[in-house]
Chain A
Amino acid sequence: GAVVSQHPSWVICKSGTSVKIECRSLDFQATTMFWYRQFPKQSLMLMATSNEGSKATYEQGVEKDKFLINHASLTLSTLTVTSAHPEDSSFYICSASRQIQETQYFGPGTRLLVL
């Protein structure tokens, strides 16, 4: 159990467009979901944490109007990159946990390339 999926696995878009990435917990209900960003050959950087039904908590330096997070249900969280620019190109990874303080299970990631 504890499988997390992400869709799409990769996306290419033009500068100025918006891109939505979905994160789903397939076999469990996720109270909390996390969104990370990873640049090539670097570690994961937490962008935001979201609880089902409430507003996301963004890390310092992450623009909440740029990276919209919606955790509408216990199995789905979405990250929308609005008005994407080439510097937003990165690998985005989500994770989910059943309850506070439980293990985070990671999705396979989404590679975003903005032209």
Chain B
Amino acid sequence: AQTVTQSQPEMSVQEAETVTLSCTYDTSESDYYLFWYKQPPSRQMILVIRQEAYKQQNATENRFSVNFQKAAKSFSLKISDSQLGDAAMYFCAYRSALAMNNNAGNMLTFGGGTRLMVKP
């Protein structure tokens, strides 16, 4: 079974600064997807960024980028020019790329989350 670990329960960043959230995972599979989700106080889960394991190029979405190190099984999220609206819980998630009839290949495995605080 896959596991996802976020070693930082809380992080703090000054507005306009850059912060990196860590995520490591354990899997025996070679093909998979990794995600970062944001959960603001409203508790609506919002997809921030997605990375396919077969792609060497790191995914970027505006101020959000990842550092995907497949050999090290590491998937960190960098938030540049932090804004007050970035304050939220951030969850790293793993999903297998194998399509299975019993839906096991569809399920997301989440890390424990990192609470990001942004100081004005």
Instruction: Choose one: A38, A46, A91; the contact of B107 (CB below 8 Å).
Output: A46
- Please tell me if B28 contacts chain A, counting CB pairs below 8 Å: no
Tell me which of B42, B46, B50, B108 contacts A46 (CB under 8 A). Answer: B108
Main secondary structure of the interface of A (DSSP, over half): strand
Interface size on B, residues (CB 8 A): 21
Binary B-proximity of A40-67 (CB < 8 A = 1, otherwise 0) = 0011101001010000010000000000
CA distance A34 to B105 in the complex (A): 13
Whether A103 contacts B103 by the Cβ 8 Å rule is no
B42 touching A44 by the CB < 8 A rule? Answer: no
Is the beta-carbon distance between A34 and B107 smaller than 8 angstroms? yes
Given contacts A43-B91, A43-B111, A43-B112, contact A51 B103 (CB under 8 A): yes
Say yes or no for A25: interface residue by CB 8 A criterion. Answer: no
Q: Which residues of B contact A (CB under 8 A)?
A: 37, 42-47, 50, 91, 97, 99, 102-103, 105-108, 110-113
